[in-house]
Amino acid sequence: MKQGVVIKNVNGYFYVQTPSGDVHECKVRGRLKKERYSLLVGDTVSITNDGWIDSIEERRNSLRRPAIANIDQVIVVVAAREPDIHPLLLDRLLVMIHHSHIPPILVINKYDLHTEDTVKLKSIYENIGYTVLCTSTYTGEGIDELRYVLHGKISAFAGPSGVGKSSLLNAVDPNFAFQTGAVSDKIKRGRHTTRHASLYSLDESSFIMDTPGFSALDHTGMTVEELVHTFPEFGDHDRGCKFSPCSHSHEPICSVKEALAGGQISEQRYQSYLTIKSELEDQRRR
């Protein structure tokens, strides 16, 4: 019996990578049939020598869309310029990642093009407590740090197109393009290929989720109270609000608004909060 991580699920077969790096094509045991439909890419499983999945380890977390288990972190990539950073889009993405209870890490790529605005933005997110990496696939800045952050974890990359996500992955692991190509060749032989999430292995213990559309996680159904909890910087300040819960908008005596006036909370982040809040309220009214 060996343990491994499910990296792909195609046509009823689960591809399980063991710590040696070998990938085994496996089927699910009869008595696990019930779990077969819920078995997800990212699950840690025990497999027999003849290719049966025998048991599933308890999950740390799971997402429905994309269907994946045990994501340790989301690497949110933006570019210093080309395309310019759109703070509201960035904050919307961070909100949804927090709402999924997955820690985000912010990467500002194309740092070779950075300006004063980039430095300001960096400090806003560092002050909130986020890990912020500045990278450039052109100069090599920050690539070792990124590699370090990815080590031993299952990570997903998110962010607008054109910011350099593929370039970063190739910089972290030059085999990236080659190896993903090799895996998909094998998969193409299946007749009814489905587009599930799959994992790309950087090394025996580090995986990258390869799924288009991760950035499209949506916030349908989130309440304003839940939204408040996705802004980590509000947490330090909400104890002094007169009303509980407080939406930190129209209420008198609000410690979040006091912190905003005192400069401890960024105006830009607060504006994102108000915009996302009204989006949620519009959704409810409909």
Footprint of ligand GDP on this chain (CB under 6 A)?
109-110, 112-113, 136-138, 161-167
Task: Choose among 21, 15, 70: nearest CA to 47.
Answer: 15
Q: Over the range 21-39, which residues count as b (16 or more CB within 10 Å of their CB) and which as e?
A: eebbebebeeebeebeeeb
How many whole angstroms separate alpha carbon 78 and alpha carbon 107?
6
The count of chain residues that interact with Zn ion, using the rule CB under 5 A, is 5
Nearer to ligand GDP, 53 or 172 (CB): 172
Question: Is the distance from CB of 234 to CB of 228 less than 8 angstroms?
Answer: yes
In the complex, least distance from residue 96 CB atom to ligand GDP, rounded to whole angstroms: 18
| Residue 101 CA, distance from chain mean position | 10
Q: Which does 136 bind (CB under 5 to 8 A by kind): ligand GDP, Zn ion, none?
A: ligand GDP
Nearer to Zn ion, 172 or 254 (CB): 254
Q: Which does 8 bind (CB under 5 to 8 A by kind): ligand GDP, Zn ion, none?
A: none
| Residue 259 binding Zn ion, by CB under 5 A | no
Q: Which does 199 bind (CB under 5 to 8 A by kind): ligand GDP, Zn ion, none?
A: none
Q: Longest C-alpha distance within the chain, in Å?
A: 67
The residue within the footprint of Zn ion, chosen from 28, 146, 228, 241 (CB under 5 A), is 241
Q: Which does 158 bind (CB under 5 to 8 A by kind): Zn ion, ligand GDP, none?
A: none
Task: Choose among 33, 22, 31, 25: nearest CA to 9.
Answer: 25
Task: Choose among 73, 10, 3, 62: nearest CA to 38.
Answer: 62
Nearer to ligand GDP, 91 or 210 (CB): 210
In the complex, least distance from residue 285 CB atom to Zn ion, rounded to whole angstroms: 23
The binding track of 166-205 with respect to Zn ion, each residue x by CB under 5 A or -, is ----------------------------------------
**Cα dihedral value 198, 200, 201, 206, nearest 10:** -80
Q: Which does 256 bind (CB under 5 to 8 A by kind): Zn ion, ligand GDP, none?
A: Zn ion
Nearer to ligand GDP, 128 or 171 (CB): 171
| Residue 187 CA, distance from chain mean position | 25
| Residue 254 binding Zn ion, by CB under 5 A | yes
Q: Which does 142 bind (CB under 5 to 8 A by kind): ligand GDP, Zn ion, none?
A: none
Q: DSSP state, 162?
A: T
